[in-house]
């Protein structure tokens, strides 16, 4: 009887270890479309901490702007955070960068964090408004002012930001 109890106890302990390990693996973004490339995480953390912007918000914006591809270019918008090099030319130069630097993820994220910090300073902690403004959603901003209804993109970014926060144990 003691041996049976002992074997059951050992089985129980081992199965819990296996369960915990399996649970830990599900917290990573392996094979997930929302995975953040390892080499970018520190850039988001550094820029976010420097400008008091949630790093996970930066990550979520990058996902929806570029899917984390630094070489993306859409008209005047360049890089991982889709920085408009015409609108933000002076800011880019003020931060010591050039247009071609916007293809560098670290520098691109720094510029984006600077833009967001300015928007938060100007509009307060109104996350949907700041995100819609950053994304250039003029119609959505107008609707938001009238009805308080934020855009689908702003909602997706905020939801993904929360998911990243959970994954990062925040």
Q: What is the pLDDT of residue 24?
A: 33
Do the Cβ atoms of 68 and 37 come closer than 8 Å?
yes
φ/ψ of 115, rounded to 5, equals -60, -50
Q: What is the pLDDT of residue 1?
A: 52
pTM exceeds 0.75, yes or no? yes
Residues constituting the chain: 170
Report strand pairing: 73-74 vs 83-84.
unpaired
What are 115's two structure tokens?
């833009």
The closest of 143, 147, 153, 119 to 133, measured between CA atoms, is 119
* 19-55 tens-digit pLDDT: 333 333 333 455 588 889 999 999 999 999 999 999 9
Residue 154 CB contacts under 8 Å (≥ 6 apart), including other chains: 127, 128, 131, 132, 135, 137, 140
Q: What is the pLDDT of residue 167?
A: 85
Whether residue 125 is predicted with pLDDT greater than 60 in this model: the reply is: yes
Whether residue 71 is predicted with pLDDT greater than 80 in this model: the reply is: yes
Whether residue 124 is predicted with pLDDT greater than 90 in this model: the reply is: yes
């Amino acid at each position: 009887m003691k041996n049976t109890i002992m074997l059951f106890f050992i089985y129980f302990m081992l199965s819990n270890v296996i369960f915990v390990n399996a649970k830990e693996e599900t917290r990573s973004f392996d094979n997930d479309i929302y995975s953040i490339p390892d080499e970018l995480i520190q850039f988001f953390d550094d820029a976010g901490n420097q400008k008091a912007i949630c790093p996970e918000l930066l990550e979520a914006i990058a996902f929806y702007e570029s899917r984390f591809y630094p070489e993306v270019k859409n008209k005047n918008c360049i890089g991982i955070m889709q920085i408009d090099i015409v609108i933000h030319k002076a800011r880019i130069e003020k931060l010591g960068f050039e247009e071609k630097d916007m293809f560098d993820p670290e520098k691109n994220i720094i510029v984006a964090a600077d833009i967001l910090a300015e928007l938060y300073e100007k509009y307060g902690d109104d996350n949907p408004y700041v995100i819609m403004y950053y994304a250039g959603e003029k119609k959505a901003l107008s609707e938001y002012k009238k009805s308080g209804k934020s855009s689908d993109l702003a909602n997706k970014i905020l939801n993904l930001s929360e998911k990243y926060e959970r994954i990062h144990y925040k």
